[in-house]
Amino acid sequence: MTLSEFKFIWYMEYSHRMWGRLVGLAYILPTVYFWRRGYLNRGMKACAVGLCGFVVFQGLLGWYMVKSGLEEKPESYDVPRVSQYRLTAHLGSALVLYCASLWTGLTLLLPQQKLPNAQQIAWLRRFAHGTGGLVFLTALSGAFVAGLDAGLVYNSFPKMGNYWIPDDLLSFSPTLKNFFENPTTVQFDHRILGISSVTAITALCLYARRIPLPGRTRMALNSLLAMAYMQVGLGICTLLFYVPTPLAATHQSGSLALLSLAIWVLAELRKVAK
């Protein structure tokens, strides 16, 4: 690594830490202000304290993740790298904090809407919860892909090399280790989860077409469907072009956009009442 390359990484890390601290203040200072002015009821006080506490936890988890990159590794080569487990935990914690914040905001701001058939909405809501969970799990699996550089092992689609199922898929022992430490298996799992997510979103939107939903809810579903296919396209391009950083970052941002739209759909369906 050259000195200029080190400086770039250093400033990226420094900026990330400073931005994280600003995010913490953006949660804590308004909470203190609104609490002291008496604008928060009991439920909102509990919610605000929970979000602020989670921000602090997220910062500590980030420190714990970075610490893993400074520990001695058993490998013969010296490559500083954080643990993919801690990286995934740090990303997962950030996603949970973001989703909780977005959900809180939307449930407070979105007005109630009425619809005659409550039973259909109940089924659609369950379907949407499962789909949202699948989108979250897919985004989380992307952290393992990044942590292991798993996007660099098979740069073809839809097959992985010449195979639908690679020979080294379960080459680690014990078998469970493959799902978290084998780059081939991690990439394979991310592909399966991505395809499953876009399939579930498509089915959700097709089912929703049979229900006379309000216009805003319909817009949320259509946006979710469009973003799902865009995200799949970004993922395939990232893989085929050998994971260029700008494209990989766009794909990662796409996962957050997709998750945001899934939360919007859930918030809309929660506001639809009989």
- pLDDT at residue 199 in the model: 97
Domain that holds residue 194: 115-274
Q: Are residues 269 and 159 in the same domain?
A: yes
Q: Are residues 73 and 149 in the same domain?
A: no
| Number of domains within the chain | 2
Q: Are residues 29 and 139 in the same domain?
A: no
Domain final residue pick, 63, 87, 112: 112
Q: Are residues 238 and 200 in the same domain?
A: yes
pLDDT in tens, the chain (274 residues): 899 999 998 999 999 999 999 999 999 999 999 999 998 899 999 999 999 999 999 999 999 998 887 776 665 456 667 889 999 999 999 999 999 999 999 988 988 877 656 678 888 999 999 999 999 999 999 999 999 999 999 999 999 989 999 999 999 999 999 999 999 999 999 999 999 999 999 999 999 998 888 889 999 999 999 999 999 999 999 999 999 999 999 999 999 999 999 999 999 998 876 4
Domain final residue pick, 84, 112, 140: 112
Domain final residue pick, 112, 130, 151: 112
Q: Are residues 171 and 100 in the same domain?
A: no
Q: Are residues 3 and 35 in the same domain?
A: yes
Amino acid at 221: L
Q: Are residues 237 and 159 in the same domain?
A: yes
Closest by CA position to 180, among listed 80, 58, 69, 88: 88
Q: Are residues 195 and 74 in the same domain?
A: no
Conformation bin of residue 244: beta by default, left when phi > 0, alpha when psi is -120 to 50: beta
Q: Are residues 254 and 126 in the same domain?
A: yes
Closest by CA position to 234, among listed 250, 222, 245: 250
Q: Are residues 230 and 194 in the same domain?
A: yes
- pLDDT at residue 77 in the model: 52
- pLDDT at residue 239 in the model: 95
Q: In a 10 Å sphere around its CB, with 0-12 CB exposed, 13-18 middle and 19+ buried, how is residue 220 labelled?
A: buried
Question: Is-contact 211 118, C-beta < 8 A?
Answer: no
Q: Are residues 133 and 96 in the same domain?
A: no
Q: Are residues 147 and 237 in the same domain?
A: yes
- pLDDT at residue 76 in the model: 45
